[in-house]
Amino acid sequence: MQLRENGVFAIDKPQYFTSFDVVAKLRGILGIRKIGHGGTLDPLATGVLPIFIGKATKAVDLVADSLKRYTVTVKIGIKTDTGDITGDITERSSVIPDEATLREVLSSFIGVGEQIPPMYSAIKVNGRHLYDIARSGAVVERNPRPIEILSINLLNYDQLQKEFKYEVYCSKGTYIRTLTEDIAFKLSTVATVFTLRRTQSGPFSEDDCLTFETITKYVNAGDRDFILPVESLFSSLKSYTLSDKQNYLFMNGVSFPVDCIKEDEVMLKILYKGKMIALGKTIEGNLKSVAKFV
């Protein structure tokens, strides 16, 4: 049975794999070249990594922009150059906060704010990844970026072991290593990420995730059902069905009025002959293409 060559699924990223490592391994398992991922995870991190194959890769940015949920274990009293336990220790502190203070500081981060990306990140400056610049021993100025923390909760605190675990639900672009260091700064101490797991990325939760081993078994058995159609990501969107004439215009990049949709800036599933072929958006009463999947 031939594998579906366009679609999506989520993998449970193993620790110490980069997101690119995951894509490279899946290319070998699936025998498909065009594969992308939604939302980079640090090598230390595990958890939900959305995977897109074939024409579904056009939806990568749409899912990467969605909300994320993480569980984080933190070691208090040390700070590293990478922001996690894999780095070299650069600072120590003997200040260990009490639980009430920790809870209060965590809750203070809820809301809209700004964050300066860490040097050890995949952002490019003048064509170079920040992590490459950091490995050369240099530091460059980074502009703050807007983020939003929707919720943040303390799950466990072992004051004797100087460790705590928290869960955070946040916007795209939130760096958990930086958030952890900012929390520590507000506690008048230092800290670093010990473990990090993404438990949700957009519509995918950790319960939806597959492993390399499971995917290999499916492929060897000729089972393609684990690859979901791209429309499964957008079940909550309203639909708009194109006529033959509208389909011709739409597929050739021509916008046209849609009188039945009164709201502006509305994202729509675009259907033609009963099949989802694209995403579109209403702009000043006209329908424009966002991503095409055919």
State the Rg of the chain over Cα: 22
> What string of DSSP letters covers 6-34?
SEEEEEEEPTT--HHHHHHHHHHHH--S-
Length of the chain: 294
The H or E element spanning position 292 is strand 286-292
Cα torsion 37, 41, 42, 48: sign: negative
**Using CA atoms, how far apart are residues 271 and 33, in angstroms rounded to an integer?**
27
CA atoms within 13 Å, Cβ hemisphere of 133: 18
Active-site residue set: 42
**Using CA atoms, how far apart are residues 18 and 86, in angstroms rounded to an integer?**
14
